Amino acid sequence: MLTPIQRLIVSLYAGGDLSHVKSEQQADNCGDGLLAFLVYEMSDLDINDEGDCYELETRLETAARQLEALRRVLTARIFP
């Protein structure tokens, strides 16, 4: 069973294409590693807690920054 914040993520991710995912196990087995990461990364957050909502934003920003940094490095190595 997903938490409310995980359900929100699943319903919005990829335009709702994976909204059939109803558990962490299904997220892990859905074939989309990024969705599985997001579901697990946000598993301890409460959508009704303002501090957790800010934490959600921080975690998403951190992940986006790390992915962008990796993209830049990989692109520079592949297309020097």
- Residue 31's pLDDT is what? 97
pTM: 0.87
Quick one: 60 exposed, middle or buried, by C-beta within 10 A (0-12, 13-18, 19+)? middle
pLDDT by residue (tens digit) across 24-62?
999 999 999 999 999 999 999 999 999 999 999 999 999
Residue whose token pair is 């892990």: 28
- Residue 80's pLDDT is what? 82
Please provide the average confidence, as pLDDT, over all residues in the chain: 97
- Residue 65's pLDDT is what? 98
